[in-house]
Amino acid sequence: MKRRALLASSAVLATPALAQSRTITLIVPFAPGGNVDTVARLTASELSRRLGQNVVVENAPGAGGTIGTERAARAAPDGHTLLVGVESPFTISPFVTPGAVRYDPLRDFAPIGMLASLPLTLVGRPDLPAADMAGVIALSRSRPDGLTYASSGTGTSLHLWGEIIARRSGAKLEHVPYRVAAQIPTDLMAGRLDLAVLTVTSTGPLIRDNRIKGYAISSLEPAPGLPDLPPLARLPEFAGLEMLAWQALFAPARTDPAILRRITAELDGMLADPAFRQALDRVGMTPWHKTPEELTALVRSELARYEEVVRLGNIRAD
């Protein structure tokens, strides 16, 4: 009798994750078309195949990703709502826009695993008179107004990487936030900006074609397609510094542990699958495996790091 009761209990726990009659919604806190949306759609398609049930992407953009992130936090913890969590709304927005963030990144979400990462690059206009990163720092110090650098907006990881560069090196850098990031390379090539921080997918082709200058990458190792772009971490004042844009899979807190284990197992299988890894590589993303415990540790450490950067720089979104 006890054995039958245990089996029945286990079946109830497993049923939500296996119920093929219900669709799983994968919330993307940004508009269609960007890196996060692309990774989400690859993930949804593969999860659908592996779980044997429909997984659909729901874009919920707005407020730097915090609207969609909050929607996921408030969803029923039944395994039928998942979130592609991103570094900015998870680990930066709580400090840059504290009044607008109505969720706790550690308390309100259950980590499933990491999906992919993407390094950032510091690039310059074609005629900037600096040959390397040391030259950029020296040039900025020599000018009364320093150098301008653009990013995709105040309080993004791109913005904060620029702030960390300025603070650690003493470089004089003036941030120029853009609402439409696609305009930044055009303005950079036209000489309307000195520098920009953009993801490697945006800058790689332009660097290879010598249409802009590449100065540094935020990963510890060079990107495969840009072997000559040096990691910033190789300079003494930036030793060990790595900053990556990342996408990870989360569920609402209090989701059944049996469901979380099932989805984590399928995610592990996806990231080990050469076909899925190649699909990520084709869109410029690097597969990045982390256990739920490692993902929690990453979020915790980045919260501490970005809180300090935002506080010291007195950064607030407009």
Query: 66-78, pLDDT tens digit by residue?
Result: 999 999 999 999 9
Q: pLDDT tens, 98-111? A: 998 999 999 999 99
In a shared domain, residues 234 and 302: no
Does the pLDDT at position 65 exceed 70? yes
Q: Provide the pLDDT confidence category of residue 287 given band limits of 50, 70 and 90.
A: very high
pLDDT for 224: 86
What is the number of domains present in the chain?
2
* Structure token pair of residue 230: 């040096």
In a shared domain, residues 113 and 194: no
In a shared domain, residues 93 and 13: yes
Does the pLDDT at position 18 exceed 90? no
pLDDT for 147: 98
Rounded to whole angstroms, the Cα distance separating 177 from 151 reads 5
Q: Residue 58: which of 89, 83, 95 has the closest Cα?
A: 83
Q: Residue 120: which of 24, 234, 4, 216 has the closest Cα?
A: 216
DSSP alpha helices (H): ranges in 112-173?
133-142, 157-169
CATH of the domain at 211: 3.40.190.10
DSSP state for residue 89 in the 8-state scheme: I
Does the pLDDT at position 280 exceed 90? yes
Q: Which residue has the higher pLDDT, 181 or 273?
A: 273
Within a domain: 318: no
Within a domain: 18: yes
In the numeric block, the tokens 């994968």 are attached to 26
Q: Which residue has the higher pLDDT, 271 or 34?
A: 271
Q: Helix %, strand %, coil % for the chain, to 5?
A: 45, 20, 30
Within a domain: 257: yes
pLDDT for 16: 46
Between strands 81-86 and 24-28, the pairing is parallel
| Residue 60, amino acid | A
In a shared domain, residues 92 and 33: yes
Q: Residue 146: which of 181, 114, 170, 120 has the closest Cα?
A: 170
Last residue of a domain, one of 221, 238, 255: 238
In a shared domain, residues 79 and 147: no
Paired strand residues for 231: 217
Find the angle CA(180)-CA(132)-CA(310) to the nearest 5 degrees: 50
pLDDT for 112: 98
* Structure token pair of residue 315: 């950064």
Q: pLDDT tens, 220-230? A: 999 988 999 99
Whole-model pTM: value is 0.89
pLDDT for 317: 79
In a shared domain, residues 263 and 211: no
* Structure token pair of residue 311: 């506080």
In a shared domain, residues 54 and 158: no
Last residue of a domain, one of 238, 267, 284: 238
In a shared domain, residues 60 and 114: yes
pLDDT for 19: 52
Q: Give me the DSSP letters along 206-233.
A: HHHTTSSEEEEESSSS-BTTBTTS-BGG
Q: Provide the pLDDT confidence category of residue 318 given band limits of 50, 70 and 90.
A: low
Q: Provide the pLDDT confidence category of residue 180 given band limits of 50, 70 and 90.
A: confident
Instruction: Work out whether the CA dihedral 21, 25, 26, 32 comes out positive or negative.
Output: positive
Rounded to whole angstroms, the Cα distance separating 70 from 154 reads 20
CATH of the domain at 309: 3.40.190.150
CB 149 within 8 A of CB 173: yes
Q: Provide the pLDDT confidence category of residue 12 given band limits of 50, 70 and 90.
A: very low
Instruction: Work out whether the CA dihedral 307, 311, 312, 313 comes out positive or negative.
Output: positive
Rounded to whole angstroms, the Cα distance separating 150 from 167 reads 17
CB 102 within 8 A of CB 200: no
In a shared domain, residues 295 and 250: yes
Least confident of 130-139, 159-168, 278-287: 278-287
Q: Which residue has the higher pLDDT, 212 or 35?
A: 212
Residue 203 domain boundaries: 119-238
Q: Residue 317: which of 195, 198, 151 has the closest Cα?
A: 151
Within a domain: 191: yes
Last residue of a domain, one of 208, 238, 268: 238
Does the pLDDT at position 3 exceed 50? no
Q: Residue 213: which of 136, 118, 120, 117 has the closest Cα?
A: 136
In a shared domain, residues 261 and 230: no
CA dihedral of 180, 186, 188, 190, whole degrees rounded to 10: -140
In a shared domain, residues 201 and 191: yes
Q: pLDDT tens, 187-214? A: 999 999 999 999 999 999 999 999 999 9
pLDDT for 1: 39
In a shared domain, residues 192 and 252: no
Q: Provide the pLDDT confidence category of residue 263 given band limits of 50, 70 and 90.
A: very high
